[in-house]
Structure 1
Amino acid sequence: MAANTVLNYLPRESVVHRLTGTTKLAFFLLFTFASMITYNTWVLLGLLAVSISAFKLSKIRFKEVRFMMIFMLVFLLLNNLFIFLFDPDQGTTLYGTRHVLCHLFWRYDLTAEQLFYMVNISIKYFVALPVAILFISATNPSEFAASLNSIGISYKVGYSVAIALRYIPDIQRDYHSISQAQQARGVELGKKEHFFTRLKNSVNILLPLILTSLNRIDTISNAMELRGFGKHKKRTWYTKRSFARNDFIVLGLGVVLLGVSLTVTILFGRFYNPFV
């Protein structure tokens, strides 16, 4: 069933899962900032190597996050397409040189600079995605709430996020079960049916399911209020753990990666131009 859901916690016995929620949140933020501030290809390739290594250490299989990967690839292709359509000379403007590889049509010339720029954009996506998936898939929602609270965010907000993360997989599992039952009754949801017919039938299942889930969340919220939730400004956490050696190592790695990215950006600029 895990392969049929996205944005859900996948428990494993791995180094990544044994890290505290605060460590994973801090590393995710540091790593994201490090990848955002630079377009230097060598820095991005180094971050990509770290990202892939962390994904392998987590012992999460590709098929379990396949949907998110495919969604990212489709979004990436559309993003690069629209970048080129709206401004085919953006790479030329950023890198300051122009090497035309071929003329396509009208004002659209495929330049080496534009192609290199879009490759760097693609690398940035591949750098960020595995770490983002790890942060969601390798962190228990309750532990995530505790980590948010540890950096100063209200525990009420943390609990809201944790409840949402718990219910997203539940909604997906319920939808899968209902769709199987509906198909057994003759409602077409398979690939052989027309797209808009499938979309209509899926919406007819999904909307009542979402409304029912919202009512369920409201019931939980009322029950928590009756038990005094939110009365005090602070609270304790069952899932909060003390830092171990690996936590300090990972935090140090995040700081080093951010420092390297900043240093290279300051010394050599955000954009590395191999065509000069």
Structure 2
Amino acid sequence: MTNHFIGYQSGRGFLYQLSGASKLIFFILVSVACMTTYDTRLIVLVGLSSLALFKMANIRWQQVSFVIKFIAFFALLNVLMVYLFEPSYGETIYGVKTVLWQGYGRFYLTSQELFYLFNLALKYFCTVPLAVLFLMTTHPSQFASSLNQIGVPYKVAYAVSLTLRYIPDVQEEFYMIRMSQEARGLELSSKEKLMKRIKGNLQIVIPLIFSSLERIDTVSTAMELRRFGKNKKRTWYTYKNFTIADILTIVLAIVIVFITLFLFKWNHGRFYNPWQ
């Protein structure tokens, strides 16, 4: 059951050997580059590379299926909302109008709008896999030390570390409660109607949130009793110095950023226009 949780998964391989700081820098730089450009070639390349990294990290579909489906739903919803608000935005961007579907009134579909919406959806599947990879291959303590290593105050870094540690615990507790409820006869699987499943899960989530807040208060009190935050600096047990692989990872991220800037100049803007 724990294989379905989003959180750090111990493993071997190139990604697990990298420093958390280098992975964090790579994730930030590449995400910014992919979110600012609409060059389909670069976005597709980064997306396919992310899938290859999943294979290298031995992360199975079952471990990330829920997150991917969740993101796919919101990506589809975002694409739909963009189309409903401005169905002619694509032709405005690319300066060409190729009608594929006449539609009704102001709602029609062009090749340009479809291409723009395709690029918009690609951005989700370009950056989200990188975020999932980072979370699942970086130990929370190493992530905290990495944040502190790049200049984030250690109090903030430690808070992030506790959050990442706590997410799998909350997921495990939720699934345990849900299994207990199902054993008592409360149907929460896909066999039940959607609204009843939502109502049943809310009956679990709301008490779980309050119990989680109580646990957080206990942890913060314990940290205060141990005088956490007294000193301006602290050492980290999981601190790792940069290796050649870390430096190459950061250099690759910088190269991707420069490629994005070059594409801005080459395309005369953020958008790649195949109709020119």
For structure 1, the residue ranges without an aligned partner over 5 or more in a row are none
Query: How far apart are the structure 1 equivalents of 2:270 and 2:205?
Result: 44
**So what's the TM-score if we normalise by structure 2?**
0.95
**So what's the TM-score if we normalise by structure 1?**
0.95
In structure 2, the partner of 1:76 is 75
1:16 aligns with 2:15: yes
In structure 2, the partner of 1:41 is 40
Deviation sequence 1:142-166 (CA, Å, 0-9, x none): 1111111112111111111111111
- For residues 74-223 of structure 1, the aligned pairs below 5 Å read 74-223=73-222
Query: How far apart are the structure 2 equivalents of 1:233 and 1:96?
Result: 56
Query: How far apart are the structure 2 equivalents of 1:55 and 1:187?
Result: 36
In structure 2, the partner of 1:245 is 244
Query: How far apart are the structure 2 equivalents of 1:49 and 1:175?
Result: 33
Counterpart amino acid of 1:2?
A: T
In structure 1, the partner of 2:260 is 261
Range with greater deviation from structure 2 (33-42 or 46-55): 46-55
The Cα RMSD (Å) is: 1.4
Deviation sequence 1:223-255 (CA, Å, 0-9, x none): 111111100111000011011111111111111
Range with greater deviation from structure 2 (167-176 or 196-205): 196-205
Q: CA deviation at 1:197?
A: 2.5
Distance 1:197 1:41, change over 3 A: closer
Counterpart amino acid of 1:93?
A: T
SS at match of 1:253: helix
Query: How far apart are the structure 1 equivalents of 2:248 and 2:120?
Result: 29
In structure 1, the partner of 2:270 is 270
Runs of 4+ with >4 A deviation = none
Aligned length: 275
Query: How far apart are the structure 2 equivalents of 1:147 and 1:221?
Result: 22
Query: How far apart are the structure 2 equivalents of 1:34 and 1:218?
Result: 39
For structure 2, the residue ranges without an aligned partner over 5 or more in a row are none
SS at match of 1:103: strand
Deviation sequence 1:53-98 (CA, Å, 0-9, x none): 2222222112211111111111111111111111000111111111
Tell me if structure 2 keeps the 8 A contact 1:10–1:137.
Answer: yes
In structure 1, the partner of 2:2 is 2
Deviation sequence 1:152-206 (CA, Å, 0-9, x none): 1111111111111111111111111111111212223233333333222222222
Query: How far apart are the structure 2 equivalents of 1:197 and 1:246?
Result: 50
Q: CA deviation at 1:263?
A: 1.0
Query: How far apart are the structure 2 equivalents of 1:26 and 1:272?
Result: 26
Query: How far apart are the structure 2 equivalents of 1:201 and 1:100?
Result: 46
Q: CA deviation at 1:115?
A: 0.6
Counterpart amino acid of 2:122?
A: I
Query: How far apart are the structure 1 equivalents of 2:76 and 2:134?
Result: 24
Query: How far apart are the structure 1 equivalents of 2:126 and 2:222?
Result: 42
Tell me if structure 1 keeps the 8 A contact 2:2–2:172.
Answer: no
Distance 1:195 1:41, change over 3 A: closer
Tell me if structure 2 keeps the 8 A contact 1:37–1:265.
Answer: no
Range with greater deviation from structure 2 (168-177 or 187-196): 187-196
Counterpart amino acid of 2:18?
A: L
Tell me if structure 1 keeps the 8 A contact 2:30–2:256.
Answer: yes
Counterpart amino acid of 2:183?
A: A
Tell me if structure 1 keeps the 8 A contact 2:148–2:157.
Answer: yes
